Amino acid sequence: MTTLVHRWHRLALLGLVLGSVHLGAANFPSDFSSSQEGLGFPPGTPNPTAMAFAPDSRLFVCQRTGELRVINKNGDLLDASFVKLTVDSSGERGLLGVAFDPNFTTNNFVYVHYTTPVPSPHNRISRFTANGDVAVAGSSVVLVDLDDLSSDTTHNGGAIHFGPDGKLYAGVGDNGNGANAQSFGNRFGKILRYNSDGTIPTDNPFFSSAAGANRAIWALGLRNPVTFAFQPGTGRMFINDPGAVTWAPTPPSHIARSLGACFTTRR
């Protein structure tokens, strides 16, 4: 038990490390897979991008190349992937986020955020139904198709989590174009908020002022929100929004909607 607890502590620490780095092919060292194993991941989990604990303490790990892997309660990486997605993994694209439905113990719903290459590269949120350690064949349900990506493969965001309000939140990067983050005409450079079925809550802050799919915008003015988390007890959102040059200890002035969110940013 002590060994397992220590392993989980190392994995949790790695989650903080992954949450503070700027993901992208140019930033992965040549020995990235071995360095991750040294920090606590079992062999066979190269290029991890996100992870989440299931209610029964299994750890689901996203690999940028499209495999969602399962580490069981004994700390063993299972041979079979939960699901293997066809993704565009160029640059900062790929399988980028995983979340469990608040009612997972009864509905077995698992949500993933990834870059699909068809019909043209764009990020997508899909839902799968779990049957033990694998997804039920044919259970994929596409909930949200985001805006088509440009040829720029940076600033892709990708995190998804359920908030304390039961809504599904998704972080989306600005696709390498800072002007996107200020626009209500697209969903780049934003935190988005959805119902668990992919519909848009009518109490979203810009539901009346934005149009169509852009009504999902909950916060804007972000560069590349690769990870975020809700603080237990307060519901406050902490966003890791990596940048390029300097650290900003306080929220940038261009955050137009935060609802109490705190930001660790580097711009």
Rounded CA gap, 227 and 158, in Å?
A: 7
This prediction's pTM: 0.81
Question: Across the strands, what pairs with 98?
Answer: 112
pLDDT recorded at residue 244: 73
- For 145-181, letters b (16+ CB in 10 Å) and e give ebbebeeebbbbbbbbbbbeeebbbbbbbbbbbeebb
- 């038990």: which residue's tokens? 1
Q: Is residue 25 pLDDT above 50, yes or no?
A: no
pLDDT recorded at residue 242: 83
Does residue 107 sit in helix, strand or coil? Answer: helix
- pLDDT tens by residue, 185-236: 999 999 999 999 999 999 999 999 999 999 999 999 999 999 999 999 999 9
Mean pLDDT value of segment 165-189: 97
The per-residue pLDDT of the chain, averaged, comes to 83
How large a percentage of the chain has pLDDT more than 70? 75
Rounded CA gap, 112 and 88, in Å?
A: 14
- pLDDT tens by residue, 60-114: 999 999 999 999 999 999 999 999 999 999 999 999 999 999 999 999 999 999 9
Fold of 2-266: Neuraminidase (2.120.10)
pLDDT recorded at residue 41: 61
